[in-house]
């Protein structure tokens, strides 16, 4: 009788674990569905990087050229192609729209959550893997920087996949062919996502990890010939084809110099040609690494402090936590010596989410009066303080803010601070009490939701129900992130020219010309939404158009003052995009008619409607 019942026990446990894993995957997918899918359709694509990247993918399919990127008919050689291939494929299948532009990156979010769950489950346990995915998916930074078409989260995805294969290989006497090939393939895809940090990061992190854990001999076991072969098979073809398709011509130095030297080495050293974005101050950059995981950042520091310090003879969990910590720190360290933007920390967020999730599970499973429980209450107290501060600040600001008449243009209520635009979110600092009147609903709901969620979290942890408290925080983020989305939609007219592009499209006739009175990046949505070439006044040597303009096959889209005046007074109808403060330079040419106005920008024409 004993022999007949004993073998059944592992089967029941295995089925139970399998059912729990399936349930966790379903819950992670539901969180992703509710939080991220609504953001596919709004807001409008933004001027600069958002619409430039979408435009490069659109021109990829219109030109039938999947090797060389183009924007506004000009070669655009500074970016790796993988994200653009994804968007172009989406356009081919579903048409050219905002939601099809965002679809590949949104699917990339789901892939990153599931990859984070998988590496966490395998190395930290089922619950830690689950909570790592929830932390990452509900973090403020993950949400904000996947609403813009930038590839940084995809870098985090391929790092996560690669390190999962690496940790499997560490458990083996010699890494299996699958482990080695998987690590190399992930690095190769990362090279195709954002250049050579795709291989610099994993090599650097792995070498530092093996050095600190006194296991450098593992480097000799890592099947380097196989990994180099896999990496070259995946990553080399595009680089070779792009070099052949874009040799030096005239003043243009060609793909090799522009992509490898200018975009990798000179950009890192802050000497890129032409000058790129300014850099975020170092203290802010490091602080944002933690802030992007709000609200879970309240537990991040104590989680990092719990990572093992004795690095010899680590168990699987210890090895993983040490690797995740090095992953996070090395990325921060790397960008501390280069130009940087707020979102450069995004590839490190899966690592911090995994470390934090391990701590949350340990807290929940610890005795009632343990130090983990005490630190959990301290973190909850910090969140409660934030909740009270948010609620109080929002109440005060909303009290001061003035009600705004329906139909008001947000641009008329802002105070411009160009010096703050070095940060990608710098425009938020333009808000004034009057402008905030347009954001009453999302601001109030954001503060109220965070206040209620922080109270629930504090009370549940006080009652020694840490897991329930974590659920309270996770559910709190549904309305909080919805408010972030609403705020982005409301602010979009300032950062997008879609409304103006639609106004042009309604009146467009063959032979008409669209002109930007300023840098291309300020009005790049015109390019995407109209599908037409955009002429540019006096900005040939700036920004993303600089290198493409040097090629002999560049279209004749660049105007100086004299050629623009001739164009304006000629037989063609001209639509000019301009900032309101620069409109006079166009209006003084005479015969100026306002076609549309939105977000502090105008469309002027030399012909009436």
| Sheet-wide strand order for 574-579 | 558-559, 534-537, 513-516, 574-579, 601-605, 593-598
Q: Is the pLDDT of residue 7 over 50?
A: no
State in Å, rounded, how far the first CA of the chain is from the last one: 92
pLDDT above 90: residue 558:
yes
CA distances from 468 to 228, 298, 354, 475, 487 (A): 47, 16, 19, 11, 29
Residue 94 has pLDDT above 60, yes or no: yes
Give which of 394, 370, 522, 516 is closest to 451, Cα–Cα.
394
Cβ–Cβ < 8 Å for 198, 155: yes
pLDDT at 403: 64
Among 523, 562, 556, 524, which Cα is nearest to 540's? Answer: 556
In tens, the pLDDT along 257-268 reads 999 999 999 988
- Is-above-0.75 flag for pTM? yes
Provide the H-helix boundaries in 250-370.
254-255, 267-268, 282-291, 300-305, 316-335, 349-365
Tokens of 323: 């690797």
Q: What is the pLDDT of residue 173?
A: 85
Count CA within 13 A, CB hemisphere, residue 179: 17
> What pLDDT is attached to residue 318?
93
Span 457-481, average pLDDT: 96
Mean confidence (pLDDT) of the chain: 90
Domain ranges across the chain: 2-40+102-363, 371-495, 498-605
DSSP 312: S
pLDDT at residue 394 tops 90: no
pLDDT digits (tens, 9 = 90+) for 39-74: 999 999 999 999 999 999 999 999 999 999 999 999
Closest CA to 512 of 533, 497, 526, 529: 533
The answer, yes or no, to whether residue 243 has pLDDT greater than 60, is: yes
Number of Cβ within a 10 Å radius of residue 463: 10
Q: Give the pLDDT band of residue 428 (cuts 50, 70, 90).
A: low
d(CA 206, CA 191): 17
Those residues whose C-beta lies under 8 Å from the C-beta of residue 492, and which sit 6 or more positions away, are 42, 43, 44, 46, 498
Q: What is the pLDDT of residues 127-167, one digit of tens each?
A: 999 999 999 999 999 999 999 999 999 999 999 999 999 99
Identify the pLDDT of residue 352: 96
Query: Looking at the DSSP assignment, which residues form a beta bridge with residue 249?
Result: 252
Q: At what angle do helices 126-138 and 8-36 cross, to 10 degrees?
A: 0
Report, in angstroms and rounded to the nearest whole number, the Rg of the chain calculated over CA atoms: 26
What share of the chain in percent tops pLDDT 70?
A: 90
- pLDDT tens for each residue of 265-314: 998 888 888 876 668 888 888 888 888 999 999 999 999 999 998 888 78
């Amino acid at each position: 009788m004993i022999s007949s019942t004993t073998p059944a026990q592992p089967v029941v446990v295995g089925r139970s674990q399998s059912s729990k894993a399936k349930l966790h995957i379903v819950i992670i997918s539901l969180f992703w569905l509710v939080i991220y899918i609504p953001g596919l359709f709004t807001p409008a694509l933004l001027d600069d990087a958002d619409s430039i990247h979408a435009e490069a993918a659109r021109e990829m399919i219109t030109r039938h050229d999947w090797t060389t990127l183009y924007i506004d008919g000009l070669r655009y050689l500074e970016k790796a192609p993988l994200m653009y291939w994804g968007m172009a494929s989406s356009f081919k299948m579903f048409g050219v729209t905002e939601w099809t532009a965002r679809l590949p990156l949104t699917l990339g979010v789901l892939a990153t959550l599931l990859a984070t769950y998988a590496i966490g489950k395998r190395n930290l346990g089922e619950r830690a893997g689950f909570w790592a995915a929830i932390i990452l998916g509900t973090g403020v930074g993950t949400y904000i920087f996947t609403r813009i078409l930038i590839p940084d989260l995809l870098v985090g995805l391929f790092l996560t996949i690669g390190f999962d294969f690496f940790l499997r290989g560490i458990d083996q006497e010699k890494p299996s062919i699958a482990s080695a090939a998987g690590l190399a393939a992930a690095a190769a895809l990362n090279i195709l996502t954002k250049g050579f940090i795709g291989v610099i990061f994993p090599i650097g992190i792995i070498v530092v990890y093996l050095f600190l854990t006194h296991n450098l001999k593992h480097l000799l076991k890592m099947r380097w010939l196989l990994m180099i072969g896999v990496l070259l098979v995946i990553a080399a073809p595009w680089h070779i084809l792009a070099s052949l398709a874009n040799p030096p011509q005239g003043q243009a130095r060609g793909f090799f110099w522009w992509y490898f030297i200018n975009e990798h080495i000179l950009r890192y050293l802050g000497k890129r040609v032409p000058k790129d974005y300014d850099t975020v101050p170092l203290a802010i950059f490091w602080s944002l690494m933690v802030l992007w995981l709000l609200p879970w950042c309240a537990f991040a520091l104590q989680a990092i402090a719990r990572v093992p310090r004795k690095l010899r003879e680590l168990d699987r969990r210890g090895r993983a936590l040490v690797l995740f910590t090095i992953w996070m720190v090395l990325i921060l360290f790397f960008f501390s010596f280069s130009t940087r933007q707020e979102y450069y920390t995004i590839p490190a967020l899966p690592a911090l989410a995994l470390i934090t999730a391990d701590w949350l599970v340990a807290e929940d499973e610890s005795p009632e009066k343990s130090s983990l429980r005490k630190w959990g209450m301290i973190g909850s107290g910090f969140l409660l303080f934030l909740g009270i501060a948010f609620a109080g600040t929002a109440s005060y600001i909303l009290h001061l803010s003035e009600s705004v008449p329906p139909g008001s243009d947000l641009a008329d209520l802002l105070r411009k601070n160009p010096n703050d635009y070095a940060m990608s979110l710098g425009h938020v600092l333009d808000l004034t009490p009057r402008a905030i009147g347009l954001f009453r609903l999302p601001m109030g709901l954001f503060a109220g939701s965070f206040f209620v969620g922080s109270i629930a979290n504090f009370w549940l942890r006080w009652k020694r129900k840490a897991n329930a408290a974590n659920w309270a925080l996770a559910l709190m983020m549904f309305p909080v992130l919805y408010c972030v989305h609403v705020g982005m939609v409301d602010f979009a007219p300032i950062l997008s020219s879609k409304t103006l592009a639609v106004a042009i499209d309604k009146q467009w006739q063959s032979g008409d010309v669209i002109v930007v009175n300023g840098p291309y990046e300020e009005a790049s949505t015109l390019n995407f939404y109209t599908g037409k070439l955009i002429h540019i006044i006096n900005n040939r040597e700036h920004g993303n158009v600089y290198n493409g303009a040097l090629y002999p096959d560049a279209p004749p889209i660049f105007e100086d003052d004299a050629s623009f005046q001739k164009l304006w007074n000629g037989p063609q109808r001209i639509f000019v995009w301009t900032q309101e403060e620069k409109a006079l330079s166009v209006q003084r040419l005479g015969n100026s008619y306002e076609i549309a106005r939105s977000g502090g920008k105008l469309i002027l024409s030399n012909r009436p409607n």
